[in-house]
């Protein structure tokens, strides 16, 4: 029998995230242009779909393609970057990325920005950047992880192993960028709103990881760290997510469970 799927968030009913989504879609001062790898749209475990559910339609445009050229030739780019005279900022912590503190605050001296985000697996993102060398020449990159003091932190999203600490899932990266690009007052309201469904999804992943031992072994191999449990619950507490039922196992329990699996598989 087919699993029942929520008509709004498109997730199976038992992991529906609707109660953790904003009641009214969030309007950003700095809109997001998201270049999504064509394969990413078909994946169940991805965070851009959550971002679409959180943001107002003026605040997010998704363009599918394999290089920045696809985005730059799109109507969304013509409207947001050219039409609204915004400076595009690529959200990626590559060498030479500028710190948000080096930017004129949005609104001062006519400075307005739009955030360019590349979405896919880490391998796909690297391929997309390789195919975009000409477009990257004139595009400023910003590094928000360092600005937020997160350069040595791993993201909440355990399903994919990032290349190094300070690299985050699409939704987390956008939330942290909003935190440094919007006014302090707006960021205080918006950042927790965007992270709320992400934290709940991370809790759900951990619950499943613990319930199905085979996933523990696989997740540990992919880079999962036991202190992720504490990170997720700390983030949930900070965002006042009360209706979660996750009872975190200790790091020792997870490691023992993984060790058992290593001997039996």
Residue 16 binds to Zn ion (criterion: CB under 5 A): yes
CA separation (Å) from 80 to 35, 110, 217? 14, 15, 45
Give the residue, chosen from 18, 82, 188, 238, that forms a contact with Zn ion under the rule CB under 5 A: 18
Residue 9 binds to Zn ion (criterion: CB under 5 A): yes
Where are any strands of DSSP class E within 24-180? 32-36, 60-64, 87-91, 113-119, 140-142
Give the list of residues 6+ apart from residue 220 with CB closer than 8 angstroms, or none.
254, 258
- Evaluated on CA atoms 246, 251, 257, 262, the torsion sign reads positive
- Residue 16 CB, nearest approach to Zn ion (Å): 3
CA nearest to 235, candidates 8, 20, 4, 65: 20
> For Zn ion, how many residues bind (rule: CB under 5 A)?
5
- Residue 18 CB, nearest approach to Zn ion (Å): 3
Residue 262 binds to Zn ion (criterion: CB under 5 A): no
Residue 5 binds to Zn ion (criterion: CB under 5 A): no
Residue 8 binds to Zn ion (criterion: CB under 5 A): yes
Region from 7-15, 29-37, 68-76, 150-158 binding Zn ion, contact rule CB under 5 A: 7-15
- Evaluated on CA atoms 175, 179, 180, 186, the torsion sign reads positive
Residue 6 binds to Zn ion (criterion: CB under 5 A): yes
Residue 8 or 221 with smaller CB distance to Zn ion:
8
**Residue ranges binding Zn ion (CB under 5 A):** 6, 8-9, 16, 18
């Amino acid at each position: 029998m087919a699993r029942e799927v929520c008509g709004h968030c498109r997730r199976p009913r038992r992991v529906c995230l609707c109660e953790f989504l904003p009641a009214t879609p969030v309007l950003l001062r700095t809109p997001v242009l998201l270049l999504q790898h064509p394969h990413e749209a078909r994946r169940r475990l991805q965070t851009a779909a959550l971002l679409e559910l959180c943001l107002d339609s003026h605040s997010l445009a998704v363009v599918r393609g394999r290089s920045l050229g696809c985005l730059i030739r799109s109507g969304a780019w013509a409207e947001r970057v050219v039409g609204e005279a915004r400076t595009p900022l690529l959200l990626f912590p590559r060498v030479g990325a500028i710190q948000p503190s080096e930017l004129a605050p949005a609104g001062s001296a006519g400075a307005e920005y739009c955030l360019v985000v590349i979405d896919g697996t880490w391998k796909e993102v690297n391929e997309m950047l390789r195919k975009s060398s000409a477009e990257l020449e004139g595009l400023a990159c910003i590094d928000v992880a360092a600005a937020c003091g997160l350069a040595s932190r791993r993201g909440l999203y355990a399903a994919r192993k990032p290349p190094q600490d300070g690299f985050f899932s699409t939704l987390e990266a956008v939330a942290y960028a909003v935190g440094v690009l919007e006014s302090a007052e707006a960021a205080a309201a918006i950042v927790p709103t965007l992270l709320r469904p992400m934290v709940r999804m991370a809790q759900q992943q951990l619950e499943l990881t613990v319930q199905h031992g085979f996933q523990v072994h696989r997740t540990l191999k992919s880079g999962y760290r036991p202190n992720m449990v504490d990170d997720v619950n700390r983030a949930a507490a900070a965002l006042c997510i009360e209706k979660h039922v996750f009872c975190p196992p200790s790091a020792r329990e997870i490691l023992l469970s993984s060790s058992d699996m290593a001997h039996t598989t």
